[in-house]
């Protein structure tokens, strides 16, 4: 939508018309120039036309109205097309597997991660038997080895693997019961 779409037709040009006469006088020229330059710039003609109207109306009010309007329109359209070409060269689309940015320091990701760790630790603390101590030792931030965990818990290193499997299976069942199962999609039988 251009500025002309908002301007009602007036029979006569007056000095206090707020630029409507200027818009009516230049509308066809701006549209033609924008249409001619848009494809080479890699943008849509309506976007280019809108930026030219904005540039023209930023010059208003007062003596900022160009004397040679046709030359000014051509120069403004070409300048906006150059800006668009530079912008297109700098911007690049994301590829299919590429993440859309560096999210490591994103406050939302930090908050969600903290919430997930809190929920996991709460679930681990509700496990039966020796499972909470074993999984807490495995979740330790200093990343202990099996030998260190076995020494800390007073059990043999060979029994850590099977016990860890049982504890993780119990944790999976507990978390699966807490998370709502997804609804069936499509046709049900």
pLDDT tens digits, residue range 156-170?
A: 989 999 999 999 999
Please tell me what DSSP assigns to residue 3: G
pLDDT tens digits, residue range 99-109?
A: 666 667 788 88
List, as one string, the DSSP characters of 152-174: HHTS-GGGHHHHHHHHHHHHHHH
**What CA–CA distance (Å, rounded) separates 33 from 78?**
8
**What CA–CA distance (Å, rounded) separates 154 from 130?**
11
Q: Output the pLDDT for position 180.
A: 61
SS3 79: helix
Nearest to 52 by CA among 67, 40, 63, 37: 37
- What parts of the chain have a pLDDT lower than 50? 1-14
């Amino acid at each position: 939508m251009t500025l002309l779409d908002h301007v009602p037709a007036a029979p006569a040009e007056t000095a206090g018309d707020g630029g409507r006469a200027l818009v009516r006088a230049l509308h066809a020229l701006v549209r033609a120039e924008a249409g001619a330059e848009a494809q080479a710039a890699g943008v849509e003609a309506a976007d280019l036309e809108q930026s030219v109207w904005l540039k023209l109306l930023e010059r208003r009010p007062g003596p900022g109205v160009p004397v040679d309007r046709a030359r000014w329109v051509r120069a403004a359209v070409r300048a906006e097309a150059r800006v668009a070409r530079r912008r297109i060269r700098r911007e690049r689309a994301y590829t299919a597997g590429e993440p859309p940015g560096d999210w490591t320091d994103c406050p939302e990701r930090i908050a969600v991660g903290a919430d997930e760790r809190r929920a996991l630790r709460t679930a681990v603390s509700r496990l039966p038997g020796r499972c909470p101590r074993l999984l807490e030792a495995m979740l330790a931030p200093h990343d202990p080895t099996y030998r260190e965990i076995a020494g800390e818990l007073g059990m043999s290193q060979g029994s850590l693997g099977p016990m860890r499997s049982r504890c993780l299976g119990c944790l999976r069942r507990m978390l699966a019961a807490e998370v709502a199962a997804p609804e069936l999609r499509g046709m049900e039988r």
